[in-house]
A and B are shown apart, each in its own frame.
Chain A
Amino acid sequence: MSTAESLPALRRLPALGAPFAAGLVLILLWEGLARLPGAEVLLAGPWDVALWLRENAGLMGRALAVTGAEAAAGFVLGNLAAVALALLAFALPRAERLIAALALLVFCLPLVATGPILRVLYGPGPGPQITLAALAVYYTTFVPLLVGLRAAPATWFDMVASYGRGHVAALIHVRLFAALPYLVAGLQIAAPAAFLGAMVGEFTGAERGMGVLTIRALRALDVEATWALATVAALVSIAVYAAIGRAGRRLLNAPPPVLLAPPSAARGPSPGRLLLRAGLAGAVALALWWGAMEAFDLNRFFAKRPGDVWAFLVTRPEAGAHRAELFGALGETLALAVPGYLAGLALGAALAVGLTLAPRAASLAMPVAVTLRAVPIVTTAPLIVLLMGRGPAGTIALVAVMIFFPVFVACLHGLARAPGQVLDVFDSYAAGPVQRLLHAQLPAMLPAFFASARMSLPAAMLAVTVVEWLATGRGVGALMALSASLSDYAMLWSAVVVVALATVAGHALLGAAEGRVLARYAGEQLR
C-alpha cells in the first residue's frame, strides 16, 4: 500500500528537479551580476540578501504583513470591480464601448495626480494603498474577461437560442465558462501588479510597509535591504502567480473548444458614428470628473476641474506657453514610450511562442518573467540605467520590461487555447511543431495578444512616466512630478488629460488593426 502510494511521488521527482535547477541557475546569474565592477552600490547578491533577511526577519515580516494585506484587499476589490464591469458591459451591450472607454481613462490616471487626492480623501491609514492596488489590477482583468466572454463557439449560442433562452442564459451557461481561462490569465497578471500598487501606494504617506522600507533603504544606500525587499516582493508574486495557475488548471479541465466563426462581413462603423461615440465617451468622462470632485468637495487648489484645464491650455493669455511646454514634454515621452511598447509586445509574444516550441525552458523563463514584473521599478531603474546608460536605451528597456509580462502571460494562455481536435489533425498529418504553431496556435493566440496589447498601452505610459520621474528627469513624467512639487496643479491635470488622450488615440489605432486581423482569424470576437 505504502509503496504503491509513494510511486507517483517518485515519478514526480524529475518534474520537481527542473524548477530546482532553474532556480539554482537564476541564483548563480544573480550572484554573478552582483559581482560586476561598480554593481556593489546598486545590487546585492543572494547571499547578502539572505543574511539581511535573517537578521531583520521581524521587521520584514511586519512590513510584509502590512503590504500583503493592502495588496490582497486591492487584488480582491480590483478584480471584483473588473468582473462587475465586464458583466455590466455585457448586460448593456449598447454601453459596452462607453464602459470600456471609461475603464481605460481611469486606468490612465497617474499616481502623481491620484496619490495626493486619495490621501486627502482617506486621511491616514491604508485607504490609498488599497485603492491604488485595486486600480493597478482591474483593467488587466477587465480586458481579457471581455475577450473571454466572447470566446465560445457559435453553435453553443445557437443551442441556447434553440431552447428559447436569451441573452442572460447565454451569459450564465456559455459565456461565463468560456471566460474562465481568460479570468485566470487576468488574475495571474494582477498578482504582481497588486503588490506593486500597494507598495507605490505607500509613497503617498504611510507609516509602515515594504514601500516605506524601500524608500528608506534606497536613500540610506542600504543595498542589501533594497534587494531583500525586492526579493520578498518577487517571491510573494511568484507564489501567488503559481497558486492561481494551479487553481486554474484544476478548475479548467475542459479542453478548449473549436471556435468556428464565419469571417465577419460587417463593415466597421462609419466615421460619423465613431466621432459620435468618442464625443459621448468624452462628455461622460468630463461629467464624471467634475461630478466626483464636486461630490467630494475637493479643493480647487489641487483638484482641478475640466474648466480649469481648459482655461490653462486654451483661454488664458499664457496658454500658448503652457501648451508648448506640455506638448514638448509629451513628444519626448512618446519618442521613448512607443519603441519601448513595441519592444515589450514583441518580447512578450516571442517568449510565449518560444516556450511553446521549447516547453522545457518554461521552468527557467517563468520565474524570470514574474520577477522582472514584480521587482519595483524604483529598485530596478538604477541598475538598468547602470547597465544601459541614461540615454534612451535605458528608458526603452525599462518600459519593455514593465509591459512584456502581461503580454507574455496572455499569449501563453492564448496559445493554449488552440483546440485539441485541430492539433490532432496536424499530428495525424505528421506536421511539425512549427506548422502547428503557424496554423493553429498563433491564430488561437491572436485575441489574447490584442487584448494584452490594449491593456499594455496605459501600462507603457505609466512605466515611461515613472522612469522619467525617478531616473531621467525628462518628458511628461518629470513635468508632472515637478508640477506637483511646485503646486502647479493646473499643469499636472493638463498633463493627465493629454496623456490620457494620447493613450486613447493609441487604443483607437490598435482597435482598427485588431478589427482587421480578428475579422479573419477570430470572427467570434466581433459579434
Chain B
Amino acid sequence: MTDRHLSLSRRRVLALGGAATGAAALGLPARLAAHDGTPVTLQLSWLHSVQFAGSYIAKARGIWHGEGLDVSLAPGGPNAPVEPPVVSGRALVGVSAADYTAAAVAQGAPFRIIGVAMQKNPFAIASLPANPVNAPADMMGKRIGMALANMPVLEALCTLNDVDIDRIEIVPTQYSAAPLLAGEVDCLLCWATDLPVAMAVQGVESVTMLMADHGYALHSQTYIATDESLRERRAQLVGLLRGEAMGWEAYRADLDAAVDLTLEMFPDAGLDPEAQRLQAERQVPLMFSELTDAHGFGWFTEETVARNIETLAVLGRDVSADLWDRSILEEVHAG
C-alpha cells in the first residue's frame, strides 16, 4: 500500500461526498478502502446506468477493496453477450438471467446461478391508458410490438394465462417505444424499468402490466459463474457477491446518492438524471422482497427455484435445480 493509492482513494471518497459517510456507516476504515486487490471482472449485461448502481457503490466506497478485490465493471451492449467472457474466464462473474443461463447450459456452458439481483422478472406489457393492457387476456385482438427474439417470452405468458396467442398480432419492431407512440402497435413487450420510464420522461403516461404478476416467475439479473470458479476461486466469488449485497443495500437506503454516483462515474454515458431516478425507483420492488429482507440480498429458495423451473419448462427449457448454487450466498450472509 503506497501513499499514492491512499491519497487517490481519499480524493475519490471526498469527491463522492455522501459516499464517504456511507463508507463510514458501513464501518469500513479508509485504510481498507485503499487496499490493492486481486483484479477480477464483473461482466454487466447492458451499458452503464443505474441498473447496476449497487455495483458502482461497492466499487466507489471501497467495499470490494476491503474484500481484497480490484473489480472492473465491463459494460454490455446490443452485441455483447455475457456468456462468452464468463466461459472464457475473462470475467469472473456475469450478470445474466435464468432463461439465458439455461440456454447456455443446454449448449454445454458450465454455469451456475450464484445469486439473484432481480427477484421479480422485469418483463412487462406496456400500453397507453386510452387502450390499456391490464391483464394478459386484454392482449387479444391487439397488435404487440416486440423483438422476435422475445417470442418464447410471449408464448410462455400466453400459455400460463390461457391466452390464445393466435389472436394477438405480432409486429417485429426495434426495442423502442416509438412504434407504440407512432400508433404502429397497441402495446409493447419490454422491461418495466426502461421503455415505460423513457415514455414517462417524455411526458407520456403508460400502463405497465408486470408479467411476474401473471405467473411469469423467472429470476433476472442473476449472477453466473463457472463450475471451475466455484471450485477454485470461492473466496473471490464470496468477496464479489458480498460487495454486491452491501452495495445494493446502500442503494436501497439512499436512491438519490446512488443516482448521483452513477451520473458522476459515467459523465460520458449520456444518462438523463430524471430517467435514472425513475428507473432507480422502479427497480426497488423488483429487487427487494420479504425473502431478501429475511435472508439478505440475492437470496433464493427451493420454492422460488421450483417456480423458475416451471416457467422455464413452459419456455421449452428443461433444467434441474442444480443450475442454482446458493453456497456462495450462504457464506456472504453468514457474516
Which residues of A pack against B, CB within 8 Å? 38, 41-42, 59, 62-63, 66, 111-112, 115-117, 119-120, 123-124, 200, 202-209, 212-213, 215-222, 225, 298-299, 301-302, 378, 381-382, 386, 390, 470-474, 478, 481-482, 484-490
Contact = CB atoms under 8 A, between A and B. Distances in A.
Nearest to A482: B149
Q: Which of the listed residues B48, B76, B78 has the most CB atoms from chain A within 10 Å of its own CB?
A: B78
B2 interface: no
Interface of B: 41, 47-48, 72, 74-81, 83-85, 87-88, 90, 100, 103-104, 106-109, 147-149, 171-178, 181-184, 194-195, 198-199, 201-202, 266-272, 275
B267 to A, nearest CB: 8
B72 A485 contact: no
Contacts of B103: 486-488
B100 A225 contact: no
A481 B81 CA distance: 10
Contacts of B148: 473-474, 478, 482
Given A486-B100, A487-B103, A116 B270 contact: no
A485 B84 contact: no
B182 A386 contact: yes
A120 B79 contact: no
Contacts of A115: 79-80
Contacts of B194: 219
Given A208-B269, A219-B198, A221-B202, A471 B80 contact: no
Given A62-B268, A207-B269, A301-B109, A485 B76 contact: no
Contacts of A470: 174
B77 A203 contact: yes
Contacts of A63: 268, 270
Nearest to A221: B198
A283 B249 CA distance: 57
B75 A473 contact: no
Contact of B270 (A124, A213, A488): A213
The 6 closest A-B CB pairs, nearest first, are: A473-B172, A473-B148, A205-B80, A208-B268, A487-B104, A203-B79
B270 to A, nearest CB: 4
Nearest to B180: A41
B83 A302 contact: yes
Nearest to A381: B174
Nearest to A296: B88
Contacts of B88: 120, 298-299, 301-302
Contacts of B268: 59, 62-63, 66, 207-209, 212
Contacts of B266: 207-208
A204 B81 CA distance: 8
5 contacts: A120-B85, A215-B77, A220-B275, A381-B174, A488-B107
Contacts of A219: 175-176, 194-195, 198
Contacts of A200: 79
Contacts of B178: 41-42, 221, 382
A32 to B, nearest CB: 18
A487 B90 CA distance: 17
Nearest to B48: A207
Nearest to B44: A205
B81 A116 contact: yes
A218 B176 contact: yes
Contacts of B83: 301-302, 487
A202 B85 contact: no
A487 B100 contact: yes
Contacts of B181: 41, 221
Contact of A471 (B75, B104, B172): B172
Nearest to A383: B178
Contacts of B182: 38, 41-42, 386
Nearest to A62: B268
B109 A487 contact: yes
A220 B198 contact: yes
B201 A487 contact: no
B180 to A, nearest CB: 9
Given A219-B176, A219-B194, A487 B47 contact: no
A382 B176 contact: yes
A386 B88 CA distance: 41
B308 to A, nearest CB: 17
A302 B87 contact: yes
A257 to B, nearest CB: 46
Contacts of A207: 48, 75, 266, 268-269
Given A111-B79, A124-B74, A203-B79, 19 more contacts: A59-B267, A112-B79, A116-B84, A202-B77, A203-B78, A207-B266, A212-B77, A212-B268, A218-B176, A219-B175, A220-B198, A301-B107, A302-B87, A386-B184, A390-B171, A485-B100, A486-B100, A487-B83, A488-B107
A212 B47 contact: yes
B148 to A, nearest CB: 3
Nearest to A229: B270
A234 B88 CA distance: 38
B271 A485 contact: no
Q: Which of the listed residues B48, B171, B174, B183 has the most CB atoms from chain A within 10 Å of its own CB?
A: B174
Contacts of B108: 301
A382 B174 contact: yes
Contact of B174 (A117, A119, A471, A488): A471
A484 B147 CA distance: 14
Contacts of B87: 299, 301-302
Contacts of A482: 148-149
Nearest to B178: A41
Given A212-B47, A473-B172, A221 B109 contact: no
Nearest to A297: B88
A479 B202 CA distance: 33
A38 B175 CA distance: 18
A471 B269 contact: no
A486 B149 CA distance: 9
B231 to A, nearest CB: 17
Contacts of B272: 220, 222
A29 B269 CA distance: 32
A227 B65 CA distance: 42
Contacts of B47: 212, 215-216
A471 B173 contact: yes
Nearest to A217: B270
Contacts of A301: 83-84, 87-88, 104, 107-109
A225 B270 CA distance: 9
Nearest to A65: B268
Contacts of B199: 221
A487 B198 contact: no
B164 to A, nearest CB: 21
A211 to B, nearest CB: 8
Given A208-B268, A473-B148, A120 B90 contact: yes
A218 B174 contact: yes
Nearest to B106: A487
Contacts of B85: 116, 119-120
Given A38-B182, A62-B268, A205-B76, A485 B195 contact: no
Contacts of A202: 77
A216 B75 contact: no
Nearest to B197: A220
A123 B194 CA distance: 27
A382 B176 CA distance: 10
Q: Which of the listed residues A474, A482, A486 has the most CB atoms from chain B within 10 Å of its own CB?
A: A486
